[in-house]
Structure 1
Amino acid sequence: MEKYGQYRDKGSGIAPFFPISAQASGVYLPFHIFLFVCRVPLLIAVSVTYFLLFSWLAVGSLIKKAALWCLLGIPGVWWVDIQIDGVKRGSLAKHQNRLPQPGTLIASSFTSPIDCLYLAAIFDPIFTSSYPNNRLVERISLYTAILRALSPPKLTPSPTARLLPLHQLLSENPDSAIVVLPECTATNGRGILPFSPSLLTAPAKTKIFPVSLRYTPADITTPIPGAYISFLWNLCSRPTHCIRVRIADAVYNTAASSSRPNGTKSPLSKKPNSYETNFFDGMNIGDSLSDADTLVDNIDGDNLTQEEMKVLDRIADDLARLGRVKRVGLGVKEKDDFLKAWKKTRKVI
Structure 2
Amino acid sequence: MVPELSVVIPMYNEQEVLPLLVERLRPLLDGMGVRYEVVAVDDGSSDLTAALLQRYHREWPALRVVRLRANAGHQAAISAGLVSALGDYVVTLDADLQDPPEVIPQMLAAAKDDGVDVVYGVRNDRSTDTWFKRASAQAFYRLITVMSQTKAHADAGDFRLMSRATVDAINSLPEHNRVLRFIVPALGFPSDTVEYKRDERAAGTSKYPLIKMIRLSLDSLTGFSTAPLRMATFAGLGGAVIAVLLFLYTLIARSQGHTVAGWTSTVAIVSAFGAVQLVCVGILGEYIGRMYAHMQGRPTYFIAYDSLTAGHGDHGPTDTPLPANPAEGRIREPALDAERTKVSAPGR
**TM-score greater than 0.5 by the shorter chain:** no
Task: Give the structure with higher Rg (CA).
Answer: 2
The two structures have a TM-score, normalised by structure 2, of 0.25
- The structure in which a higher percent of residues are helix is 2
Q: Which has the higher contact order (CA 8 A, sep 6+)?
A: 1
- TM (norm. structure 1) is 0.25
